[in-house]
Structure 1
Amino acid sequence: MNKDRIIQKLTHYFRHDWLRYLMTAVLCTVIFFSLTYTNVYMETYDIEKFSTAKEAIRSPITIENTKETERRIREAVQSVEDHYEISSNVTEEQVMAVNEIFEVIEKIESEDLKEVLSKTTVTVNDKVAYLKQLVEEDSVREMNSAVFIALFEAEASDRLLAKELLTSSLYDAFHTGIKVEEEQQVISSIEQKLSYSTLDYSFVQSLKPLIEYGVEPNSFFSADQTNEAQKQAREGVEPVLIRAGELIVEEGQVITNELYEELEITGLLNEKRNIFPLIGLLILMLLLGMVVFLELNHTSNSSYTTRKLVAIIVMSGVIVGVMKVISFYVTTVNPLYFITPIATVSMLLKILIKERMAIVFSIIYAVVGSVVFNANIPGLLNMEVGIYFLITQLVSIYFLAIVKDKAAIVKTGVGVALMNAITVYLFLLLSFEKYDWSDYLLFGSYGFLSAIIATVLTVGMLPFFESGLGILSDSKLLTLSSPNQPLLRKLLIEAPGTYHHSIMVANLSEASCEAIGANGLLARVAAYYHDLGKTVRPHYFIENQMGMKNPHDYLDPYQSADIILQHPIDGANLLKKEKLPQEIIDIALQHHGTTLLKYFYYKAKDKNDNVKEEDFRYAGPKPATKEAAVVSICDSIEAAVRSLSNPDQKEIEKIVSSIFQDRMLDGQLNDSTLTFMELEQMKNVICETLKGIYHSRIQYPKTENMKEAK
């Protein structure tokens, strides 16, 4: 069998939905198994102390090295320096005492001491004696008189400068703190500072007793502060973790006592290998894969496109990968699994695919999570994680009702955050361990953070799946269905008749699609935009003429046909320009298929028998999906029924049947995969809907007749 034939056969097989579903289930199973393999199976080694490692050995689990943690705590506590407490009272007292001496000197200099002392002549010694009488401090009285004599003999400006320099120096020294052993050093420093000023050196030297008087220790050892610092140092030491995947021993390295202890801690020494947990894990993942396949195959039609299946695989790989990364940092005292943004996938699955699929995968991810966070203990399923993951996902699905904008996702995130915190507190209260209020606050914040991250990731990843993978979600369709959408406003303003026609077609299309199991929301939104091309020349279409003369009366049939036949292409171009989803562009382009523009064709034929039919056919292509075929049929039916002056039930049924028959005979539905049963269901729904719109009404009597009856 040659290469081309193999490729052709594979392409033929992959057209079958069941094969695409099987491949998706297999890939999901492979992802789940490959990322949970190490959680149930650990490779062990037969190694002795001081031997040489034959290969590099990495840790299979994340675990704390308690001995190393305790050693680091001891070192941190020993490195803490003694803490001292600075007394502000000493600062104020000493500076005030120095200031008082200068103030007394200034007072004495300003007074007439001859009258005060009853002397005819007042000497410097008299001033010093009088100063010692005025001050209260004994230490000042006992101070060497030379310092006071120098101050009295100095110029007033020098005295003022000395006061400012001395007090500012004292403030600086007291601010940083003066210990007992630093007293002489501070005195020398202040003396040196004064000597660098413009003051005379001999004057500065005479001030030394005053400097010694002003300097006094104000920094005292604080046992409380020292103990608190040691406590903070102890708490600041992070637990020494041997992380999963961390290199413990390099190839050719000698196994020291320390390395041997790490190998013992991680459980890598001479333990019997057991493959049974591995077999059990494989069976579990195969069961989950089978659930994926059965759920995908549950829907009879091809609602799961290849792009959606790729999205499922990508989301599964990403979220289980995130679980695995977080599991490396989980410890018995720090349950970081509460921070896993598992609600991201449940919200994305509901938005991009459907609610049922989101619920099924919520159960699957909860089971996988219970394996990932099993602390690498074979045979253990972390039921706390499984329940938490299941609750947060189901809550997100429940709260995420209709996604009209990103605000709906944010509101859902708020609800998930509250429920996450409640679930976390539930587990803490049910446990036998005692938790501090700070633990409740911390672990509850994990639940809040999980919801916040999930909300951010959902909002951020949604455009990737919608644009990158080209998935058209219900939220995107609801956004496009808003009357404030620029293209719909353009249609309403420039072609109001066409806008009303599009609304009617949308109602018929949605009802028809729901009857046959197609995407009713897609059909409705596509119907809104299907005649957008008419806004290029709105008055050339009868629904927009509103009493004005028909411009086609003045045109050749070929010219009229060119204008009418162009509107699907114009509409597709406008939609492409505004970057609308390809599904809507395709329906706008296909909604007339390759049908014949009969009115102008026969009008031209009346003038010339040699008219080519292809000149009056739309360029196509024919409707390629059920939704496109539904919009095409409903478009023709609505226009035909609208043209009736007074439609009754029989006329409506007759027109609907004739249009269905015409489309089938013309081969316009051949590419749409619509079955005869679905066409019959559509016909019944359309007739019932039109009868409800054009039902007969009571003829009320005129006002004049009512007066006569009275």
Structure 2
Amino acid sequence: MKEKKEPIPGFSRWFGSEGWKSSLRIKLFIYAIFAIALYLLLINHILPKQYEIRLGKPSPATVVSPVTKVDTYATNQAKREAAESVEPVYIKNDRLTIEQIGKIDSIFVTVKDWLEKDRRDAKQFKAAFEATFSQTFSDSFYQRLLKISPDRLQVIRLTTRQLVSDILQQGVRKDQLSEKQEDVDEKLYLSVNALNSNEQALVSELAKKSLIVNEFYDEKQTEQQKQAVQDAIKPIPINKGQIIVAYGEVVTDDQYRKLQELGLLKKESNILPHMGMLLFIVTIIGILYYYIYRFEPKIHQDNMNLLLLFMVMLLTLLGMKVISYGQNLEWYMIGYLAPIGLGSMLVTLLLNIRLSLVSTVILAIFCSVIFNGENHMLFDFRLGFVSLVSGVTAAYALANARKRSAILRAGLISSVAAVVPVLALNLMVPTEATLREWLQSVGFAMLGAIFSAVLTIGFLPYFETLFGILSPLRLLELANPNHPLMRKLLVESPGTYHHSIIVGNLSEAAAEAIGADGLLARVGAYYHDVGKTKRPQFFIENQLYGNNPHDRISPNLSKSIVISHTRDGVELLKAHNIPKPIQDIAAQHHGTTLLKYFYVKAREKLDHEQVRSEDYRYPGPKAQFKEAAIVGICDCVEAAVRSLSRPTPSRIENMVKKIIQDRLEDGQFDECDITLKELKLIGKSVCETLQGIFHSRIEYPDEPVNLKGAKKA
């Protein structure tokens, strides 16, 4: 509807001269306030609850993890322990073993040659031996060696060789050399051999001197094995829902550390969740803004409609917030009681169903956030999905509602529909809930839908009054013939009442033909002439037997009486708290048209120069919206057609075209956004409706005399 109103003083300075209802600054301000309200309502459901907990003191509450998070400290500790358990990797050098065995063989070859030459001087032998092998032995070793007969050298050599080979094959590390040398005597003692004590002493010393380090630490392979073991350690999580510390339990170092990592201590602050929440809200509002801008231009241009939408959504979210306080581990399913249907139904009734569906999707997302607490999920889409189905069903059930009882019916339909997703979710994971919990979930879902309907019935009149909105239900209540004003019109001005009923039928059909609000046009037509009840006898439709009081008064007085019925009607409508759009139709249906009958009559009685046409025009205003223009056309057409002696289709059509053309040329549609094409459709619709009203009838013949006689007989 197009309304011309002066902007509120001061608003034009800050929010533009076009008025606050269409000001861009006001629009952005409303969106900003809505965003801030959303942030305040939802932030506690995103941020984890923080506690005042001290190390070594009893915990004031049972604290569970709100998220699944890798326990970095525990994971690193496990990796360190695993790495420490890895044995160092040593690589044995077999070439050194072979070299040592070869040295032993060379020693005995040298000794054999020395003995065969019959050289028994120990000092000379020692000097020659050490010069050859760079090995130092005890003096007793040389003395015993020179006393050995050549035929025993082979036994000694093989025994020494075997002993050294066995030990070196096992590998000798640097830190094991002394230990391995000490093992020589034990192995020699346990071995089966035919050596005497001198020979065993020779073997023992030679074997000990022949043992060397042949196994070396491999740092690279050791580190590789440690890394492989660490990589095999899986991250140790702090699971969502895991109890970190129980109520009354003394807080340990490990528990305190976990609380710090999870940000559950009050002294810990993290700005990232706040930033994420802001981005989330900005995204949702951005989507909503674009949808309204792109697909709902009328709502986008009217800040009152935006304010209404956001108030309804915030009211619904507040209802969810209140219910969320009752949610806990035992009663997590209480979230199904969320009154999302309140928002769906109010937006459907007060704005339109398309916007209601979009709002329901957004409210369902917010519902999944608000009721996420006890399930430790950022979004509990189970509750969001049930809310979405319930809200969408309620919106569809209220489409084209014509009475307030339809709200309760929509609530019942929505309650039945809500059972389906609840059962579906429980059947998909049947082990998560008991039969008792199933029944509770179904009961809460059904009760939530009915509760939403009750709240809608309660809040609807307040929104209608506060925003001056005429919902279909309110219009239908006003169309009730038992309304006090309608009864007053019928009793005091019966002719005007029947005239208004016909104008209402004409207006509704014409409005629907051009996509306007047919119900508003019809109800507005019912009340457009209610001001005539103040002086009903001065209007021709209420005059009986041709008694016209205008014949006895001056044209100027008659003009004043007739013109005053619009003003009287508005005052009467205000007194009965009839919504403003109906008042506007009553004030605007004549616009500034000329009272031709009294104007011509005045010119006949007075000097033409003394009579001005401006004095015989209605005060206006002209029609500001389509429904007011339609009622004005139909009002004039109905009265004019009744004056026709023979209302044939062609005469009706010509009359309708002339009235519309005259009003157009008189500028009565200049302040209304109605088009020539729409005026043509209005004329066509009015003609079709009038032809149905003023159709020709068959003239019934008089009864024959014999039939009358037969009847009497």
- TM-score, normalized by length of structure 2? 0.63
Query: In the TM superposition, what are the counterparts of 1:117-196 in structure 2 within 5 Å?
Result: none
What's 2:619 paired with? 619
Alignment match of 1:544 (pick from 518, 523, 542): 542
Q: 1:46 to 1:584 in 2, by over 3 A?
A: closer
In the TM superposition, 1:11-410 aligns within 5 A as 11-12=17-18, 16=22, 28-42=34-48, 49=55, 263=259, 268=264, 275=272, 278-279=275-276, 282=279, 285-287=282-284, 289-295=286-292, 297-299=294-296, 301=298, 305-335=302-332, 336-375=334-373, 380-400=378-398, 403-410=401-408
Alignment CA distance shift 1:317-1:9 (3 Å):
closer
1:261–1:645 Cα change, 3 Å: farther
The answer to whether the aligner puts 1:415 opposite 2:413 as a matched pair is yes
How far apart in 2 are the matches of 1:279 and 1:611? 74
Using the TM superposition, give the Cα deviation of residue 533 of structure 1 relative to its aligned residue in structure 2, in angstroms: 1.1
Q: What is aligned with 2:660?
A: 660
Q: How much does 1:393 deviate?
A: 0.8
The residue number in structure 2 matching 1:469 is 467
The 5 A counterparts of 1:503-518 are 503-518=501-516
| Equivalent residue, structure 2, for 1:683 | 683
Shift of 1:605: 1.2
User: Partner of 2:621: helix, strand, or coil?
Assistant: coil
1:231-277 deviations in Å (ceiling 9; x for gaps):
xxxxxxxxxx99xxxxx9xxxxx999999599579752599969489
Kindly tell me: are residues 410 and 257 of structure 1, through their superposed partners in 2, closer, same or farther at Cα, counting changes over 3 Å?
A: farther
**2-structure distance, mates of 1:618, 1:421:** 60
> Given the superposition, is the C-alpha separation of residues 467 and 552 from structure 1 closer, same or farther in structure 2, using an over 3 Å criterion?
same
Q: State the one-letter code of the partner of 1:669.
A: F
The answer to whether the 8 A contact 1:594-1:621 is kept is yes
Contact 1:421 1:448 in 2 (8 A): yes
Question: Which letter maps to 1:527?
Answer: A
Q: Which moved more, 1:613-622 or 1:693-702?
A: 693-702
SS in 2 for 1:471: coil
- Report the Cα offset of residue 611 of structure 1: 2.1
Residue 517 of structure 2: aligned partner? 519
Asked if residue 480 in structure 1 is aligned to residue 478 in structure 2, the reply is: yes
2: CA distance, partners of 1:592 / 1:364: 45
Deviation at 1:700, TM superposition (A): 6.9
Measured in 2, the distance between the counterparts of 1:7 and 1:455 equals: 42
Quick check: which has more Rg, 1 or 2? 2
CA distance in 1, matches of 2:490, 2:462: 31
Q: What SS is found at the alignment partner of 2:18?
A: helix
> d(CA) in 2 for partners of 1:296 and 1:399?
26
Deviations, residues 18-40 of structure 1 (Å, cap 9, x unaligned): 88776665655554455334444
Q: Helix, strand or coil: the match of 1:12? A: coil
- Per-residue deviation, 1:525: 0.4
Shift of 1:314: 0.7
**Partners of 1:32 and 1:285 within 8 A in 2:** no
Cα distance in 2 for residues equivalent to 1:649 and 1:39? 69
CA RMSD, Structure 1 to Structure 2 (Å)? 4.2
Q: Deviations over 1:634-655 (max 9, x none)?
A: 2111111121111223322322
8 Å CA contact 2:12–2:18 kept in 1: the answer is no
**Alpha-carbon distance, 1:418 to partner:** 3.6
- 3-state SS of the aligned residue for 2:295? coil
CA displacement 1:533-581 (0-9 Å, x = unmatched): 1112222211122434222222222222222111111111211111111
User: Contact 2:260 / 2:268 at 8 angstroms: preserved in 1?
Assistant: no
For 1:324-374, what per-residue CA distance to the aligned partner results, in whole angstroms no more than 9, with x for missing partners? Answer: 443344234322211111111111111111222212211121122223333
The residue type equivalent to 2:473 in the other structure is S
Alignment match, 2:578: 580
Q: Please state whether the residue corresponding to 1:11 is helix, strand or coil.
A: coil
The answer (yes or no) to whether the contact 1:557–1:603 under 8 Å persists in 2 is yes
Q: Provide the rounded CA distance (Å) in 2 between the counterparts of 1:658 and 1:537.
A: 30
2:16 aligns to what SS in structure 1? helix
> Is residue 346–residue 396 contact of structure 1 (8 Å, CA) maintained in 2?
yes
Distance across 2 between alignment mates of 1:696 and 1:275: 79
Letter of the 1:647 counterpart? P
Q: Separation in 1 of the partners of 2:652 and 2:25?
A: 43
1:402–1:475: 8 Å Cα contact kept in structure 2? no
**Contact 1:347–1:396 (CA under 8 A) maintained in structure 2:** yes
Partner-residue secondary structure (3-state), 1:620? coil
Identity, in percent, stands at: 39
> Structure 2: how far apart are the matches of 1:575 and 1:638?
23
CA apart distance, 1:522: 1.0
CA contact (8 A) 1:28 1:289 kept: no
With normalisation by structure 1, the TM-score equals: 0.63
CA distance in structure 2 between the partners assigned to 1:302 and 1:685 by the alignment: 28
Count residues in correspondence: 513
Equivalent residue letter for 1:679: L
Q: Secondary structure of 2:470's match?
A: coil
Contact 1:497 1:544 in 2 (8 A): yes
Alpha-carbon displacement from aligned partner over 1:398-449 (angstroms, at most 9, x marks no partner) = 3335545443323333333344345434433433436444434433332243
Deviates more, 1:690-699 or 1:609-618: 690-699
In the TM superposition, residue 623 of structure 1 has moved relative to its aligned partner by: 2.0
The change in CA–CA distance for 1:296 and 1:352 in structure 2 (over 3 A counts) is farther
Tell me the amino acid that sits aligned with residue 497 of structure 2: Y
Question: Distance between the aligned counterparts of 1:551 and 1:476, measured in 2?
Answer: 38
Counterpart contact for 1:343–1:393, Cα < 8 Å: yes
- Work out which of the residue numbers 496, 499, 512 in structure 1 matches 2:497: 499
- Cα separation, partners in 2 of 1:476 and 1:17, compared to 1, 3 Å: farther
For residues 554 and 59 of structure 1, the distance between their equivalents in structure 2, rounded to whole angstroms, comes to: 93
Q: 2:711 maps to what in 1?
A: none
Cα contact 2:339–2:451 (8 A) shared by 1: yes
Tell me by how many angstroms 1:602 deviates.
1.0
Which of 442, 445, 448 is residue 447 of structure 1 equivalent to? 445
Distance 1:534-1:45 versus aligned 2 partners, 3 A rule: closer
Paired residue type of 2:279: L
Q: Which residue of 2 aligns with 1:130?
A: none
Q: From 507, 511, 528, give the equivalent of 2:526.
A: 528
1:9/1:436 Cα in 2 relative to 1: closer, same or farther (>3 Å)?
A: closer
Residue type of the alignment partner of 2:373: A
CA distance in 1, matches of 2:594, 2:626: 21
Q: Is the Cα–Cα contact under 8 Å of residues 21 and 293 in structure 1 kept in the other structure?
A: no
Quick check: 2:21–2:304 contact (8 Å CA) kept in 1?
no
Separation in 2, partners of 1:5, 1:469: 19
- 1:697 is displaced (CA, Å) by 5.0
Structure 2 CA distance, aligned partners of 1:534 and 1:409?
A: 36
Please say if residues 307 and 471 of structure 1, whose CA atoms lie closer than 8 Å, have aligned partners that are also in contact.
Answer: no
Question: Residue type of the partner of 2:381?
Answer: M
Given that 2:506 and 2:634 are in contact with CA atoms closer than 8 Å, whether structure 1 keeps it comes out as yes
8 Å contact from structure 1 (residues 404, 478) kept in 2:
yes
> Structure 1's 378 and 274: CA in aligned 2 closer, same or farther, altered over 3 A?
farther
Q: Distance in 2 between matches of 1:29 and 1:565?
A: 50
> Whole-Å Cα distance in 1 between the matches of residues 302 and 576 of structure 2?
24
Cα displacement string for residues 589-613 of structure 1 (whole angstroms, at most 9, x for unaligned residues) = 2221222211011111111021233
Deviation of 1:615 after TM superposition, in Å, equals: 3.2
- After superposition, give the CA deviation of every residue in 1:86-123 in whole Å (9 maximum; x if it has no partner): xxxxxxxxxxxxxxxxxxxxxxxxxxxxxxxxxxxxxx
Whichever residue aligns with residue 351 of structure 2, its letter is: I
